[in-house]
A and B are shown apart, each in its own frame.
Chain A
Amino acid sequence: MKIRIKFAKYGTMKFIGHLDMMRFFQKAIRRADIDIKYSEGFSPHQIMSFAAPLGVGIESYGEYMDIEVLSMASTQEVKDTLNQVMVEGVEVLSVTILPEHVRNAMASVAAAAYSIRMKDGRFPINDLEKKLQDFYNQNTIPYTKETKKSTVELDLKQGIYELRMEPDDVIYMLVNASSSGNIKPTMVLEKFCDFAGVEIPNEACQITRLETYTDLAENEEEQKFIPLAEVGTVA
């Protein structure tokens, strides 16, 4: 049986990297005595798949991982036993049973919603709401992505599905998070700061991933984003 675990990662835990979070959950699953399925072979490992990796320093209330269990009492019990062995800053938010043949967490990620706020005070930008709107209304938002070997020219515009201000000086964005077209919130922030003519170091902002979505649209032109947790059922 495949189950999907949604969790939050915040506070000091934002400094724990993706691989270490995987190790943390492997150990937590053993502490909670979850009847997880192991792979075959000489050194069996737990069958586990994480959705989109989260950068160090970013908080999240929409992290996902799928595991395969041999047995369990109920999704509620899995959630409770896991929460008993967590640390401050990691919290299991929901556990759902996945239908057969659903794609694993990593493969199904299509988009992610983020909020960005200044750690101290407000964004140093006048007319912030209008500037953000003007920025988003551009036809293209070219971005040069530098990788180890080459530089790639991207158009961020295509991957930003929503961009707006929320109350309390918070920037909200919904962006592509699929393996082929992932957009980091820092990329959007960087281009927006250029546009607004200000300089804001990444460390001055707190970025929070709010939710991770899959796309259930039938054809490629449309988008029907729903949270990864809503694919499964509670039992």
Chain B
Amino acid sequence: MRKLALSDDILMQVEKPARYIGNEVNSVVKDKEQVAIRFAMCFPDVYEIGMSHLGIQIIYSMLNEWDDVWCERVYSPWVDMDKIMRKNHIPLFGLESQEPVKTMDFLGITIQYEMCYTNILQVLDLAQIPLYAKDRGEEVPIVIGGGPCTYNPEPIADFFDLFYIGEGETQYRRLFDWYIENRDRGGTRRDFLRGAAKIPGIYVPQFYEEIYNEDGTIKGRKKLYDDIPDTILKEIVMDVTNAHYPSKPVVPFIKVTQDRVVLEIQRGCIRGCRFCQAGQLYRPVRERNVDKLKEYAVQMLRNTGHEEISLSSLSSSDYSRLDELLDFLIEDCGQRHINISLPSLRIDAFSLDVMSKVQDVKKSSLTFAPEAGSQRLRDVINKGLTEEVILKGAALAFEGGWTRVKLYFMLGLPTETEEDIKGIGDLSNKIAATFFDTVPKDKRVNGKVQIVTSTSFFIPKPFTAFQWAPMCTKEEFLEKAYQTKRGIMEQLNQKSIKYNWHEADLSVLEGVFARGDRKIAEVILEAYKRGCLFDSWSEYFHNDVWMECFENCGVDIGFYTTRERSDDEIFPWDFLDCGVTKEFLLREWKKAKTETVSPNCKVQCQGCGANRFGGGICYESRQIT
């Protein structure tokens, strides 16, 4: 029988003890004496969130396939457990072995959103690992960061020994082989890091220094050793079809956010939405072979027993064999009472037909993401969706029996005017009007239509055309939300429209972290020391504490958020190379300001630079001609 790290007494005191006991179906237990490397893979948020993440399942499965590696999972202990572990000095442990993380070789942390930064410190702290990389001794695990936020790792650079930039499938073997080699020859931690810094995709922050201008902007970078690279190119898997895929994902006992099989159909996106970071980071687009996907779907459903499968990608409608894949799933899953949850598809006759097959039309809702209220602003952000397309899609849907529509917009986009904001209400109203025009009175279910309009606040992100753009202040954001609300209230069909908006405090903080530099680390540490944790959970977010920390550390929020950057400013993340060039992004920024759209990759290559990886639609078509 496995021995748990926590006593019965403790487990009976906390909410959901299943978060801490491991033993889930498909979790991997190995003999620790038989492995050379022990790896703790952490998602720094509560179990139910972390267990829903596909990336961890991929890495977990891949590493455990190697005989000499044992990868375990670690999540942030929830606030109740956090208190108990601190009080009793219980070290954070891996779920599989129930042994302390501090006894392992590596602690890998996936960093999916900025608001988990204090949870990273919690994980290190509870694991009894010194928070600053420079303070770590020989026996301490190597702390690795990965995931989208590592495309600007500088605000948290001091806390990591190394970052793995890009897709995880490619360099772990090489990193581990070097680790074993270095250990066998009696090399030190620093020796390991020096060698690791020369492995493609690996960034060792303590070997680089940021040099600032007097105005606080970056002058340049200094590296400690000549033989380490100046820029770090992201790692990427070009053959996604034959890349490792977890055919036996871990099945949690408790209900988690994503309680289903996730089938990743492609990586990358052909649409160059100018606000979207993922759309640039994961270029070029790479499709998985449809036959392989069918095979994976069947295997994963059989190995997990999940009752639902969902497709994952940035823009599923662009997957070339989508109809074939969906036909297969409807046929195969239908027989076995397995639900299909569809990703947000472009609303057209095809997708409505598919949706009506897999969902209860009366209960489900349709989602449109126009992102901006006017065509002018949609041109600025390069969102290809037009009002005509939306209204046509809505009319089709209403004819098909749907009565609920969700609309997503952003407030605070570059160049936004009051007219653009007014457009949000106008468009919501036109959709409601379309319902009344399309559906005759005697055929209206409950007699009404329900439009839910939601706005989030725009946050400029690194490696997007808007990385130069100023972000709004909290007051401006709230004023815009108020204008939106007023605009909706003035509409004829306002009773059919419900309006939601996000909190502004959190967006401002996220904005600082997204484009921050190394000066931010001190603020994060201070906030953590003062009890900030689970900041992405609004009930635990203490904006007042954060504001005091910025003040105490002498860090000006406006410098990172509201300031418009000059064309030639050096950004904290410029030493990373995600494939798309800064020249391309700057061209896009200028086109945005002149309201000029850029066609997607299928229509015309924009010369983003990502085809240097030897793939993408432009690359493939050039190969053919």
What residues of chain B lie closer than 8 Å to A88, measured between beta carbons? Answer: 1-2, 23
- Does A20 contact B18, Cβ atoms closer than 8 Å? yes
Interface with A: B8-16, B74-82, B104-112, B436-444, which one? B8-16
Q: How far is the CA of A20 from the CA of B12 in the complex (A)?
A: 16
Residue B185 at the chain A interface, CB threshold 8 Å: no
Per-residue CB contact flags for chain A residues 68-89 toward chain B (1 = under 8 Å, else 0) read 0000000000000000010111
Given A44-B337, A203-B12, check contact A12 B305 (CB 8 Å).
Answer: no
- Does A56 contact B339, Cβ atoms closer than 8 Å? no
State how many angstroms separate the Cβ of A29 from the closest Cβ of chain B: 7
Given A15-B17, A20-B254, A85-B25, check contact A31 B2 (CB 8 Å).
Answer: no
Q: How far is the CA of A179 from the CA of B243 in the complex (A)?
A: 53
- Closest chain A residue to B20, Cβ basis: A15
- Does B21 contact A15, Cβ atoms closer than 8 Å? yes
- Does B337 contact A38, Cβ atoms closer than 8 Å? yes
- Does B8 contact A26, Cβ atoms closer than 8 Å? no
Residue A43 at the chain B interface, CB threshold 8 Å: yes
Q: B-side binding surface: helix, strand, loop or mixed? A: loop
Q: How far is the CA of A8 from the CA of B2 in the complex (A)?
A: 17
Given A20-B18, A44-B337, A88-B23, check contact A28 B305 (CB 8 Å).
Answer: yes
| Of listed A13, A28, A31, A44, residue having the most chain B CB within 10 A | A31
Q: How far is the CA of A119 from the CA of B12 in the complex (A)?
A: 14
What residues of chain A lie closer than 8 Å to B22, measured between beta carbons? Answer: 12
What residues of chain B lie closer than 8 Å to A31, measured between beta carbons? Answer: 25, 302-305
Residue A30 at the chain B interface, CB threshold 8 Å: yes
- Closest chain A residue to B2, Cβ basis: A12
Q: How far is the CA of A20 from the CA of B302 in the complex (A)?
A: 19
Q: How far is the CA of A30 from the CA of B304 in the complex (A)?
A: 8
What residues of chain B lie closer than 8 Å to A119, measured between beta carbons? Answer: 8
Residue B4 at the chain A interface, CB threshold 8 Å: yes
Q: How far is the CA of A218 from the CA of B444 in the complex (A)?
A: 57
- Does B11 contact A27, Cβ atoms closer than 8 Å? no
Residue B24 at the chain A interface, CB threshold 8 Å: yes
State how many angstroms separate the Cβ of B128 from the closest Cβ of chain A: 24
What residues of chain B lie closer than 8 Å to A44, measured between beta carbons? Answer: 337
- Does A29 contact B254, Cβ atoms closer than 8 Å? no
What residues of chain A lie closer than 8 Å to B620, measured between beta carbons? Answer: none
Q: How far is the CA of A33 from the CA of B11 in the complex (A)?
A: 33
- Does A27 contact B12, Cβ atoms closer than 8 Å? no
Q: How far is the CA of A31 from the CA of B302 in the complex (A)?
A: 5
Residue A16 at the chain B interface, CB threshold 8 Å: yes
Per-residue CB contact flags for chain B residues 24-47 toward chain A (1 = under 8 Å, else 0) read 110000000000000000000000
- Does B339 contact A43, Cβ atoms closer than 8 Å? yes
- Closest chain A residue to B27, Cβ basis: A87
What residues of chain B lie closer than 8 Å to A149, measured between beta carbons? Answer: none
- Does A87 contact B24, Cβ atoms closer than 8 Å? yes
Within 133-183 of A, Cβ neighbours of B (below 8 Å) are at none
Q: How far is the CA of A30 from the CA of B303 in the complex (A)?
A: 9
Per-residue CB contact flags for chain B residues 312-349 toward chain A (1 = under 8 Å, else 0) read 00000000000000000000000011010000000000
- Does B8 contact A11, Cβ atoms closer than 8 Å? no
Within 59-75 of A, Cβ neighbours of B (below 8 Å) are at none
Q: How far is the CA of A212 from the CA of B256 in the complex (A)?
A: 31
Q: How far is the CA of A77 from the CA of B255 in the complex (A)?
A: 29
Per-residue CB contact flags for chain B residues 279-323 toward chain A (1 = under 8 Å, else 0) read 000000000000000000000011111110000000000000000
Residue A185 at the chain B interface, CB threshold 8 Å: no
- Closest chain A residue to B13, Cβ basis: A203
State how many angstroms separate the Cβ of A164 from the closest Cβ of chain B: 26
Q: How far is the CA of A12 from the CA of B23 in the complex (A)?
A: 8
What residues of chain B lie closer than 8 Å to A17, measured between beta carbons? Answer: 18
Q: How far is the CA of A23 from the CA of B305 in the complex (A)?
A: 10
Q: How far is the CA of A87 from the CA of B17 in the complex (A)?
A: 17
Q: How far is the CA of A43 from the CA of B25 in the complex (A)?
A: 25
- Does A42 contact B360, Cβ atoms closer than 8 Å? yes
Tell me which of B23, B305, B306 contacts A29 (CB under 8 A). Answer: B305
Residue B610 at the chain A interface, CB threshold 8 Å: no
- Does B23 contact A13, Cβ atoms closer than 8 Å? yes
What residues of chain A lie closer than 8 Å to B2, measured between beta carbons? Answer: 11-12, 88
Residue B578 at the chain A interface, CB threshold 8 Å: no
State how many angstroms separate the Cβ of A165 from the closest Cβ of chain B: 23
Residue A195 at the chain B interface, CB threshold 8 Å: no
Q: How far is the CA of A44 from the CA of B336 in the complex (A)?
A: 10
State how many angstroms separate the Cβ of A159 from the closest Cβ of chain B: 25
- Closest chain A residue to B11, Cβ basis: A15
Given A27-B306, A88-B1, check contact A57 B12 (CB 8 Å).
Answer: yes
What residues of chain A lie closer than 8 Å to B18, measured between beta carbons? Answer: 15-17, 20
A interface list, Cβ under 8 A from B:
11-13, 15-17, 20, 23-24, 26-31, 33, 38, 42-44, 56-57, 85, 87-89, 119, 202-203
User: Could you pull out 20 A-B pairs where Cβ atoms are within 8 angstroms?
Assistant: A11-B1, A11-B2, A12-B1, A16-B18, A17-B18, A23-B253, A27-B25, A27-B304, A28-B305, A29-B305, A31-B305, A33-B302, A43-B360, A44-B337, A57-B8, A85-B25, A85-B305, A87-B23, A88-B1, A89-B1
What would 9 more interface pairs be, CB under 8 Å, given A15-B17, A87-B23, A88-B2?
A: A11-B1, A12-B21, A27-B305, A31-B25, A56-B12, A85-B25, A89-B1, A89-B23, A203-B9
- Top 9 closest A-B pairs, CB basis? A27-B305, A30-B305, A31-B305, A15-B17, A203-B9, A12-B21, A42-B360, A20-B253, A11-B1
